[in-house]
């Protein structure tokens, strides 16, 4: 099931809130301290994510989104997210967890994940959130409590995980929300989806951090928000009725 969304579902709210925080600090980072940061060459990726040049048939077992080939898993729902007229991110929803995938252009011989982690952490803490940098199954990541507004208007926090990997001239970011963030040990399948994703950077010139634009698959079935697809209609169907606001949100009084 594919959904074209500008508003996130329950398991994705934290990713959207955190992305707004990240966007707010990107402009500041562009003009401050860039020359002082040391960028290291990308680390080896023996377990992925993969560059399109490293995979014989990227479409095998994956959904073709143009700039990304996303692994297909039974029971999942795949959503695309738009900025203006461009599709810039894909979110895989699996039961009560989700991972948002977004790829960006990067320098040929310099990784940017360390720099991006610093900016994300700064943005979240400036907004009153809490961030821990830990070494997880996908390498260095941020586990954050992001400030959000609860449905009743009170303030709270939602737990999210920011993961990232530098590739050849690209950077892939993942934002895990829902139970996969609250209980990282339950996020194994989401982490495997991240590892097995293939990035298609293309040969055209792109400025570092420009999003790699995605496209809808030719056979995509668009489903309006809130409408569940009949069971068995697609092997990628999920059914958002399973998603509920869980313990990842804690009220602040």
Q: Residue 204 domain-assigned?
A: yes
Strand bridging mode 86-94 / 97-105: antiparallel
Count up the domains in the chain and report the number.
1
pLDDT of residue 225: 54
In a domain, 213, yes or no: yes
The pLDDT value recorded for residue 185 is: 87
Looking at per-residue pLDDT, the higher value among 16 and 161 belongs to 161
pLDDT at 168: 92
Determine the structural domain holding residue 69 and report its residue range. 2-31+40-217+237-248
Q: What is the band of 230 on the pLDDT scale with cuts at 50, 70, 90?
A: very low
Each residue of 14-35: pLDDT tens digit?
Answer: 445 545 544 444 444 444 444 3
pLDDT mean across residues, the chain: 78
pTM for this prediction: 0.75
Share of the chain above pLDDT 90, in %: 55
Decide if 232 is inside a domain: no
Residue 55 has pLDDT above 70, yes or no: yes
Indicate whether 110 pLDDT > 50. Answer: yes
User: What confidence category does residue 194 fall into, taking pLDDT thresholds of 50, 70 and 90?
Assistant: very high
73: domain CATH number is 2.60.120.1690
Dihedral sign, CA of 230, 235, 239, 242? positive
Q: What is the pLDDT of residue 223?
A: 57
How does residue 141 score in pLDDT terms, banded at 50, 70 and 90? very high
Q: What is the pLDDT of residue 222?
A: 58
Q: Is residue 105 part of a domain?
A: yes
Measure the CA–CA gap between 223 and 87, rounded to whole angstroms: 16
What is the rounded average pLDDT of the residues 65-73? 94
Q: Is residue 46 part of a domain?
A: yes
Q: Does 224 reside within a domain?
A: no
Residue 31 CB coordination number (10 Å): 7
Is 135 part of a structural domain of the chain?
Answer: yes
Please determine, for residue 183, whether its predicted confidence score (pLDDT) is greater than 80.
yes
**Structure tokens, 90:** 């894909």
Nearest to residue 12, comparing CAs of 114, 100, 87, 140? Answer: 100
106, 112 contact by CB (below 8 A): yes
Assigned domain for 223 exists: no
Question: What's the whole-number mean pLDDT along residues 84-108?
Answer: 93
Q: Using the predicted structure, report yes or no on whether residue 190 has a pLDDT greater than 70.
A: yes
E-strand stretches of 66-207? 68-71, 76-83, 86-94, 97-105, 130-136, 139-149, 155-167, 170-178, 198-199
């Amino acid at each position: 099931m594919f959904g074209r969304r500008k508003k996130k579902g329950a398991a994705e709210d934290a990713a959207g809130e955190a992305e707004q925080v990240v966007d707010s600090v990107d402009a500041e980072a562009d003009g401050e301290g860039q020359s002082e940061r040391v960028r290291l060459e990308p680390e080896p990726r023996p377990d992925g994510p993969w560059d399109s040049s490293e995979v014989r048939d990227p479409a095998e077992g994956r959904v073709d989104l143009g700039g990304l080939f996303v692994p297909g898993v039974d029971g999942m729902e795949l959503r695309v997210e738009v900025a203006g007229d461009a599709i810039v991110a894909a979110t895989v929803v699996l039961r009560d967890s989700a991972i948002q995938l977004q790829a960006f252009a990067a320098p040929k011989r310099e990784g940017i994940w360390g720099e991006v982690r610093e900016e994300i952490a700064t943005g979240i803490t400036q907004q009153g959130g809490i961030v821990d940098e830990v070494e997880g199954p996908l390498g260095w990541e941020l586990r954050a409590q992001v400030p959000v507004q609860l449905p009743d208007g009170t303030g709270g926090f939602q737990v999210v995980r920011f993961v990232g990997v530098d590739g050849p001239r690209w950077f892939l970011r993942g934002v895990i929300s829902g139970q996969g963030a609250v209980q990282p040990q339950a996020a194994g399948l989401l982490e495997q989806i991240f590892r097995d994703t293939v990035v298609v950077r293309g040969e055209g010139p792109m400025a570092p951090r420009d999003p790699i634009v995605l496209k809808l698959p030719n056979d995509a079935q668009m489903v309006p928000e809130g409408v569940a697809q009949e069971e068995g209609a697609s092997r990628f169907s999920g059914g958002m009725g399973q998603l509920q606001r869980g313990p990842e949100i804690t009220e602040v009084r």
